[in-house]
Amino acid sequence: MFGRLGAPEIILILIVVVLLFGAKKLPDMARSLGKSARILKSEAKAMKEEGSSSATPAGPPNNDEQPPAQRTIQAAPGDVTSSRPVSEPTDTTKR
């Protein structure tokens, strides 16, 4: 019953979507969905890089450690209006 969608079913679904949301809102919705996907992808990549760098064994501890540089998370490549600096959390339990 629900196994396969053919061309008539897909066209009917698209017509219903256009009628529900309106033709003016669909490009904005697609644009915001694309931005969200890019943000998710960049955050997942940053978490993966952070996890792989912390998994490598560190050398001897350095007492003259400098605080890490600030990262900038961008909402979309080339979109500088929504980029913001991010302060990394500091570990206050070390002495």
For residue 18 the two structure tokens come to 């256009």
47-87 pLDDT per residue, tens = 988 877 765 555 555 556 566 666 666 556 656 566 556 66
Measured distance CA(69)–CA(32) in Å, rounded: 30
35 against 50, higher pLDDT: 35
In the prediction, which pLDDT does 61 show?
55
Radius of gyration of the chain (CA): 23
Single pTM value for the model = 0.40
For the chain, the average pLDDT equals 75
Give the long-range contacts of residues 44-52, CB within 8 A, separation 24 or more: 46/71, 46/73
End-to-end CA distance of the chain: 65
Token match 């070390």: residue?
94
